[in-house]
A = this chain, B = another copy of it.
């Protein structure tokens, strides 16, 4: 399960946050750390996490800026996450001589650790409930549009104040569809270095076919080290390494950053998702996959360049196909329908709730009806290109930062500028031939999906064939050079407006159209949905209290559950897999890709205890963004590393089914076995094992 954040649905769905309409049961829930259901956990598992236990876990966790989770696993800044979270960095660090994604990487000494050009990790150091202050600021705003503006203004004010005061990254998190607002403060670390990654073949063994499925046999791990002021950080909050891993039936916790869920969506939103958003997304993903496959067939170097992007796209395609399948299941739809009816009936049965919130469902439905015919503009008025994205960012950036913070486009608030700069000036390589292929493909798709008179097509193509336009844009631009981008941004709006760089020229031409669309959506859709969702959030509080969890928001959450197999395809999927299974699956396909093994696995097989657990499944409720999350036991020790969900979990975006929904994790004993016996990694293993834990179980 690749980070969902990475493949976000162009923001369309992300803003449709509404209400969850059934009570949490079983091991369901991605709980905020201020509202962990300790009684539920105690009554089911006989264990109560204390405040200290929770604080320690929270402070041991990190969030990656490009979508993913991780945790400190030594007192010297060592961070464990997934190979697939590290993949972009491995690719950026690779050269023609060394493809670290493919070969793997290990820094035996600190000076060999590879600094990531633009990776950032955040630690959630404090959480503050600012609901009252936000609601106060909203009191004077009569219309949804005004509320939207007022909310944006007060968000910017709070975060700026916080940042000025603490120096910490400060974000407002909207929970329960606006039922609560929280100020989350993060310690940011921007010096993150790669320490270890195994070969991609073993990290992503089984490739796209096995992605989102189980039984699984992936060593999807990577180790980074976080530095500050040129030295490894002193990470006194870290998770002790338990080399025995998790046992069948054991209570385990997952702390990480689930990207987004739509469990509180109304039926109108779910239908929009099923009938419009997902089909368009699938069209886009399939087209981009076809383009990149064609490109990567040109040679091994092209294959290397495209593989990261391609993998993300294939991951998205499979995810969305899984969601469509789930939403086509009459049982799932009936469950959602029933819970909406229950919730709505409770609201309508109470005169006060009915007056205040009863119209919210219809308002959302109306907004969806307005959005549907314009959805294609959102998905297909776009060029699939790093260069075009950078050009757009630069054009927007220089205009936005001149405005008062509260009036800027989302993403351009003061508190976000550091991250934006890192993105704009990243030295990550850009491959011009791949850019041409991607732009050509996406413009050809736009020609197919949009009417010929669409202003995006007219402006971009101006009657020329896509390939010619793409070639001229890419060959004419200098934006691949980070120094050029930096100079342009530093010289400000006038310089950007005067630039003859064709990418900047095009971005300038498209800018008004884009702003118009953003404004239209804000006024007609997002503000309406946001206000109505806030109503439903409040109604939900009134009906169910805080016994429920909010939809995921790519912020830190805790889920509890247990190691457990499940009924699968007529039989039972086991709680764990072993190295035996890795060799079985490879041999079963005659070692054909993606079931081929790195050579060390063939040559040094006899070193391994093949019965060592490799992957395992738990009932923990997670989604994309949780990739890299630690799985911890009661003692707070790390016993596993989340890297995926099973195919039955894909509909988990909308509904959690405890019977079959499983998170998939790498077992710490599997990692320990590989580090000890297959890789020259004794030193980092010693660091992991630093604190003896053998007796702690």
Chain B residues within an 8 Å CB radius of A576: 588
Chain B residues within an 8 Å CB radius of A583: 578, 580, 610-611
A111 → chain B closest CB, angstroms: 40
Give bound CA distance, A646 to B565, whole Å.
20
Chain B residues within an 8 Å CB radius of A572: 209
A339 → chain B closest CB, angstroms: 24
Given contacts A580-B580, A581-B580, A581-B581, contact A587 B569 (CB under 8 A): no
Chain B residues within an 8 Å CB radius of A646: 570
Contact with B along A437-455 (1 / 0, CB 8 A): 0000000000000000000
User: Residue A656 at the B interface, CB < 8 A?
Assistant: no
- Chain A contact-residue range equals 20 to 34
Given contacts A580-B580, A584-B584, A588-B576, contact A571 B611 (CB under 8 A): no
Given contacts A577-B584, A584-B581, contact A569 B571 (CB under 8 A): no
Are A578 and B588 in contact (CB-based, < 8 A)? yes
Contact with B along A195-226 (1 / 0, CB 8 A): 00000000000100110110100000000000
Are B215 and A588 in contact (CB-based, < 8 A)? yes
Report A547-603 residues with CB < 8 Å from chain B CB: 565, 568-572, 574-578, 580-581, 583-585, 587-590, 595
Report A367-386 residues with CB < 8 Å from chain B CB: none
Report A606-631 residues with CB < 8 Å from chain B CB: 610-611
Give bound CA distance, A595 to B576, whole Å.
13
Given contacts A578-B588, A587-B580, contact A571 B610 (CB under 8 A): no
Pick from B318, B577, B590, B647: contact of A588, CB under 8 Å = B577
Q: Which residue of B lies closest to A318 (CB)?
A: B570
Chain B residues within an 8 Å CB radius of A595: 574
Pick from B248, B569, B588: contact of A569, CB under 8 Å = B569
User: Residue A322 at the B interface, CB < 8 A?
Assistant: yes
Chain B residues within an 8 Å CB radius of A565: 589
Are A571 and B248 in contact (CB-based, < 8 A)? no
Are A213 and B569 in contact (CB-based, < 8 A)? yes
Q: Which residue of B lies closest to A567 (CB)?
A: B209
A669 → chain B closest CB, angstroms: 12
Chain B residues within an 8 Å CB radius of A647: 569-571
Chain B residues within an 8 Å CB radius of A570: 212-213, 318, 322, 646-647
7 smallest CB-CB distances across A and B, nearest first, come from: A570-B647, A574-B588, A581-B584, A580-B584, A213-B571, A580-B583, A213-B570
Interface CB pairs A-B, < 8 A, 12: A210-B571, A248-B590, A569-B569, A575-B588, A575-B589, A576-B588, A578-B583, A580-B581, A580-B583, A581-B584, A581-B585, A581-B588
* Besides A212-B570, A574-B589, 5 new A-B residue pairs in contact (Cβ under 8 A), listed by A number: A569-B647, A575-B589, A578-B583, A580-B580, A580-B581
